[in-house]
Structure 1
Amino acid sequence: MPSSAQGTRNTFTSRSIRAFSLLAAGALLAGCAAAGTAGSDSASAGGEDSAPVKVGMVYSRTGPLAAYGKQYQEGFTAGLDYATHGTGKVAGHPIEVTEQDDTGDPAKAVAEAKSLIGKGYKILAGSTDSGVALQMAPLAAQNRVLFISGTAATDAVTGVNAYTFRSGRQSYQDILTAGTMLGDAKGKKVTVLSQNSAFGQANVAAVKAVLGAQGATVGSVLAPPSAGDLTPFARQVKAGKPDLVFVAWAGASAPALWTALDQQGVLDAGKVVTGLAGTASYPIFGGAGDKVSFLAHYFPGAGGGNPVETAMLDSITKAGGTPDLFSPDGFTAAQMIVRAIESGSAQDTGAMVKALEGWTFEGPKGSEQVRAEDHALLQPMFTAKLTGTGAAAKPELAGSLAMSAVTPPATKRAG
């Protein structure tokens, strides 16, 4: 694998288009009318090819969140093929994607982004980690480039500036989804268990803003991201005797966390709610999965088999990948980039921003909208239950929430 300094360039030439089109052409033709993505008319217009549009993807190809980065990248590739109808072009411009591995390090991400910007890149995508996204956003504003953040969930990305958008959900949407499962929060004690990171702190703030406003007393137990033994934190949660434990956890230490919570009796002491993570996480709950209530950003099939979801699933699978939790984040990012280029201008960032603001489209999860005021991505959310154990564990849809039911409050946009 090339080093992050060199990057990996994926240029959608006519040769690669022919090969890739074989993977998803049937699904794309079936779903293109419902996609709501731009580029369908312009992809074959204009005769001879124009100069390529350069897109820089800075994400976690390696590092603690590499699995999430892989899901994002596979979704992005499928989404770009879908949104351009297998041509790899928008308005006659080939889309040229250069990948850079930030390893989850904000300083490295910024350095890589500055290098891309210096080479004339006007569009950046990626940011698997919330801490990375919070450093990339001001860089986008300073250099007037379009930045579409990926899986990073921190609410602080929403409304941060005029040049930053997001292609995934945010923590507030998670908490609103969880709130639909909790009943009356008035007088209840809620403990947020998470890592002491931008992601964890965002979840604490979101739970306080949502459930605290409903009358709950919200506290937190935050573990260092590097912590190996999580038993002391599980004990601390149980000692607080909360009515509800909201677990927000990311990364490879999740199995150790759930083992500690089960061994310390936390899962039997009260209601435990958490987000449904990727497919690899399903077995980690062991026989305790049915003790947990899940809010879900996405899992394969959650979208109800709408044409866009079907195209995404088919494309990723046929390319040898595995659809998962963050596949829609990459897919939607590609849809947004195609929209920005086709309806705006590859060299006019202001026009691209305007093209995205207020845009309503069909994504893998269903109907979605880019809110003009603060660039929040309004989208459906889901609830689920986990059945089976070990390799047989799988999620079942418990409920679907339209984007209007889980809309975060508008944020006054800076810049």
Structure 2
Amino acid sequence: MPYRFPHAASVALAFALATGAQAPAASAAPAGLPPIRLGMIEGMSGPFANAGEAVERNIRFAVEQVNARGGVRLPDGKHLLSLTVFDSKQGVEDALLQLKQLTDQKIPFVLEGNSSAVAGALVDAINKHNLRSPDNRVLFLNYSAVDPVLTGEKCSFWHFRFDANADMRMQALVDVIKTDSKAKSVYLIGQDYSFGQQVAKAARRQLQAARPDIRIVGDELHPIGKVKDFAPYIAKIRASGADTVITGNWGNDLTLLVKAAKEAGLHLKFYTFYANSLGAPAAIGDAGVGTVRAVAEWHPNAVDGNAASDAFYRSFRQRYPQPKDDYLFLRMDVMIDMLATAIEKARTIDAIAVARALEGAQYKSRFHEASMRASDHQLIQPLYVAVMQRLADGGIRFDNEGSGYGFKTERYLAPAATATPSTCQMRRPQDEASTPGASR
């Protein structure tokens, strides 16, 4: 049976004792002090609305953790965090319109992540905005947009990524594939935009280096968010003779892909970025046990016997008890905690000061550690490759989304092992100020 969560008071106490955090009854921020505002630009409608909703739950949960300890301390006292959500409809133009609304409201922190295409456009727009409006600068905190260019050739002083990039995630998956003697032929399938293209590129390059004997028998990109029936794609995979599939698909594009494979009786190993979420475990079912893998910075069964990790997960499930809401991103909690710490260190919400406080910042809890690389603003943290298991078999403590299926760690990579070299040539505010003709 799926894990049953205890009474809310018990969970709050267990989380506080295990992590060292204050209980939710911690002193509130002084009355009259304005909140520190965060603006989340995300697709809250359309085919990936469920992914946007999952992000919002996670961000609100993280904000509540900070506010439960009284908020963020500035020289005039403690300020609560406040989240405003802007619907980008998962489109670039809509996201840019929402950014204009956000900056008009003088919200200093922009959060986005479910689209690398949107993230790239936001980086460009924020670079220009911050140069034109030095009294209204914003910082961009990226929790999921993993195209390597965002911390590579498009790196920006104003952008910080808190997720492992696509090359890092692929490196973790290939670390497992290279030891699988039964992997002989691989089919690549992904969404046809910058992220999906980068996943395919990384898979080809890294497989060639790690396992040159493996044949790539298919390389397919499909329209993002528009395919309703993946049966024709599954037929191509079957015809290719592939024994392994690698995909970066997320949201409904992943759920429908694996569901089609299951319905067709196609039994392959799936190496994925996101198979542990948003309906995928239930859609895969028994067909995924021992064959479907996902990579993440943490998962509920990641750390055996760690009370702090278990209490963290239980506290989230107590906050959001519906099975469909069971998708906890540790990196979003890390992001909000690191932002709050950086603001306190900077003693201001000024974008330049907070950015400098984030550069090189360290995060450490009783079950996770990370550091923000100063050269490109890429968070360096552990990665886990986990394989799907039945809860009833007793090898895992928690299932996903009440499905009866969860994930068990197969490979752990320490932070130093996940880091890929930085190629960023970052322009900093003093560089822009000294550029001839720069607008202020």
Judge same fold: TM > 0.5, yes or no: yes
Q: Do the aligned partners of 2:173 and 2:295 also contact (CA within 8 Å) in 1? A: no
Q: In structure 2, do the counterparts of structure 1 residues 58 and 259 end up closer, same or farther at CA, with 3 Å as the change threshold?
A: closer
User: Hey, what does 1:397 align to over in structure 2?
Assistant: 409
Q: Distance in 2 between matches of 1:321 and 1:364?
A: 24
Q: 2:79 aligns with which of 93, 96, 100?
A: 93
Q: Distance in 2 between matches of 1:227 and 1:364?
A: 42
Q: In structure 2, do the counterparts of structure 1 residues 299 and 32 end up closer, same or farther at CA, with 3 Å as the change threshold?
A: closer
Counterparts of 1:39-58 in structure 2 under 5 Å? 50-58=33-41
Counterparts of 1:8-407 in structure 2 under 5 Å? 26-27=13-14, 29-31=16-18, 33=20, 50-91=33-74, 92-144=78-130, 145-159=138-152, 160-183=155-178, 189-214=185-210, 215=212, 218=216, 220-225=219-224, 226-242=226-242, 244-262=244-262, 266-268=266-268, 271-275=269-273, 276-278=275-277, 280-290=279-289, 292-297=291-296, 298-304=298-304, 306=306, 309-310=309-310, 312-321=312-321, 324-362=326-364, 366-388=368-390, 391-407=403-419
Residue aligned with 1:312, SS: helix
Q: Distance in 1 between matches of 2:56 and 2:366?
A: 15
Q: Do the aligned partners of 1:278 and 1:299 also contact (CA within 8 Å) in 2? A: no
Residue aligned with 1:213, SS: helix
Q: Do the aligned partners of 2:70 and 2:79 also contact (CA within 8 Å) in 1? A: no
Q: Distance in 1 between matches of 2:90 and 2:352?
A: 29
Which string of whole-angstrom CA distances, capped at 9 and with x for unpartnered residues, describes residues 190-217 of structure 1?
3311121233112112213322333356
Residue aligned with 1:162, SS: coil
Q: Distance in 1 between matches of 2:293 and 2:257?
A: 16
Identity across the alignment (%): 23
Shift of residue 373, structure 1, vs aligned partner: 1.1
Q: Do the aligned partners of 1:83 and 1:335 also contact (CA within 8 Å) in 2? A: yes
Moved more, 368-377 or 284-293: 284-293
Q: In structure 2, do the counterparts of structure 1 residues 97 and 368 end up closer, same or farther at CA, with 3 Å as the change threshold?
A: same
- Over aligned residues, Cα RMSD in angstroms? 3.4
Q: In structure 2, do the counterparts of structure 1 residues 55 and 361 end up closer, same or farther at CA, with 3 Å as the change threshold?
A: same
The one-letter code of the counterpart of 2:260 is A
Shift of residue 395, structure 1, vs aligned partner: 2.0
Q: Distance in 2 between matches of 1:278 and 1:172?
A: 21
Moved more, 282-291 or 307-316: 307-316
Q: In structure 2, do the counterparts of structure 1 residues 184 and 29 end up closer, same or farther at CA, with 3 Å as the change threshold?
A: closer
Moved more, 271-280 or 367-376: 271-280
Residue aligned with 1:384, SS: strand
Q: Distance in 1 between matches of 2:423 and 2:184?
A: 28
Q: Distance in 2 between matches of 1:47 and 1:223?
A: 52
The one-letter code of the counterpart of 2:190 is S
Q: In structure 2, do the counterparts of structure 1 residues 239 and 229 end up closer, same or farther at CA, with 3 Å as the change threshold?
A: same
Q: Distance in 2 between matches of 1:287 and 1:208?
A: 29
Which string of whole-angstrom CA distances, capped at 9 and with x for unpartnered residues, describes residues 366-387 of structure 1?
1111111111111111122222
Q: Do the aligned partners of 2:72 and 2:344 also contact (CA within 8 Å) in 1? A: no
Q: Distance in 2 between matches of 1:307 and 1:106?
A: 42
Q: In structure 2, do the counterparts of structure 1 residues 239 and 381 end up closer, same or farther at CA, with 3 Å as the change threshold?
A: same
The one-letter code of the counterpart of 1:280 is G
Q: In structure 2, do the counterparts of structure 1 residues 288 and 211 end up closer, same or farther at CA, with 3 Å as the change threshold?
A: same
Unaligned runs of 5+ in 1: 1-20
The one-letter code of the counterpart of 2:247 is V
Shift of residue 189, structure 1, vs aligned partner: 4.8
The one-letter code of the counterpart of 1:182 is I
Q: Do the aligned partners of 2:139 and 2:158 also contact (CA within 8 Å) in 1? A: yes
Which string of whole-angstrom CA distances, capped at 9 and with x for unpartnered residues, describes residues 176-197 of structure 1?
1111211269996533111212
Q: Distance in 2 between matches of 1:310 and 1:140?
A: 38
Residue aligned with 2:250, SS: coil
Unaligned runs of 5+ in 2: 1-7, 131-137, 392-401, 428-440
Residue aligned with 1:180, SS: helix
Which string of whole-angstrom CA distances, capped at 9 and with x for unpartnered residues, describes residues 224-256 of structure 1?
221223222223333334464212211224343
Shift of residue 120, structure 1, vs aligned partner: 1.6
Q: What is the number of equivalent residue pairs in this alignment? A: 387
Q: Do the aligned partners of 2:19 and 2:366 also contact (CA within 8 Å) in 1? A: no
**TM-score normalised over the length of structure 2:** 0.76
User: Hey, what does 2:398 align to over in structure 1?
Assistant: none
Shift of residue 391, structure 1, vs aligned partner: 3.3
Q: Distance in 2 between matches of 1:347 and 1:259?
A: 46
